[in-house]
Structure 1
Amino acid sequence: MEAQTRMNQKFESLFTQMVEESKEMKSQITKLTGALAVQERGKFLSQAQSNPTGQHMAQTANSEGRNIKE
């Protein structure tokens, strides 16, 4: 019976630790989400200036096989 009690206490301790770590991860994700929502549109977090419009043009093919510049 004593061994079972020790085992239960160990599992309870591990479960409590996992709950605390889960709360910390949730907090970090919330902070990251907030930071991403605040950043400028079209600008990466590490990017000093946003991309100039039209500097680089991408080409894609439409359904008819013609190239279209975007």
Structure 2
Amino acid sequence: MEAQTRMNQKFESLFTQMVEESKEIKSQITKLTGALAVQERGKFPSQAQSNPTGQHMA
């Protein structure tokens, strides 16, 4: 019986953690959606930049 109680407590703890992480993900998606909605319609989000010449990535 005691083992079952410990297992239930672990399950509740994991479930609570998953709920909190889900809330955080939902919050981040809401922020991203809001940021994308601010972008002007019909325009790219930034100006294109040409590749620099003579520079190589290490």
- How far the C-alpha of 1:15 sits from its partner, in A, is 0.2
Deviation digits for residues 2-45 of structure 1 (CA, Å, limit 9, x no counterpart): 00000000000000000000000000010001001100112233
Structure with greater helix percent = 2
Contact 1:43 1:50 in 2 (8 A): no
Unaligned 5+ residue runs, structure 2? none
The alignment partner of 2:54 has SS state of coil
Unaligned 5+ residue runs, structure 1? 58-70
Moved over 6 A (4+): 49-57
Structure with greater strand percent = 1
How many pairs were matched up? 57
Indicate the percent of aligned positions where both proteins have the same amino acid.
96
- How far the C-alpha of 1:50 sits from its partner, in A, is 15
Greater RCO (Cα-Cα under 8 Å, separation 6 or more):
1
Give TM-score scaled by structure 1 length.
0.62
Larger Rg: 1
Contact 1:39 1:45 in 2 (8 A): yes
Give TM-score scaled by structure 2 length.
0.74
